[in-house]
Structure 1
């Protein structure tokens, strides 16, 4: 899967709705994953879902903080070798 491309919902995903865009920022360190997600979420429609794949462990806190500050909904945050966040654009 290439970065920043529309993608169907991933198998085994917790979200029942289709993902409008997927952003692969594996290998990038804080604050780049959140900055790239902020730019990508602005490009999807209100109510649409953005999936972000990250390897920086600090991203778990960063994305929770970003969702609170931006008002976007953090639909899911999955831990593992690759962290997976799903955000819903709210405005």
Structure 2
């Protein structure tokens, strides 16, 4: 790993938090647990490595193709590409 991904909160209110995540090659979020349901919208195409309690797997992402996950996900997300990677995370507060 070559560093930490950077996050910029774009919207933060009682209903939703929207964050832009930027990863240099090799950068990672660090281990974390999602407390809310969330949607990821990739702004870059490529592969991210997901380090999860069960093991490690690759996630292949396409620009503009969102995915949803429920609260409770535990992982570290690592950019394994040779280019910067960016996505938008939308957390739905309840």
Higher normalized contact order (CA 8 Å, seq sep 6+, divided by chain length): 2
Give your verdict on TM over 0.5. Answer: no
Specify which structure has the higher proportion of helix. 1
Shorter-normalised TM range: 0.3 to 0.5
Q: What TM-score results when the alignment is normalised by the length of structure 2?
A: 0.34
Q: What TM-score results when the alignment is normalised by the length of structure 1?
A: 0.35
Specify which structure has the higher proportion of strand. 2
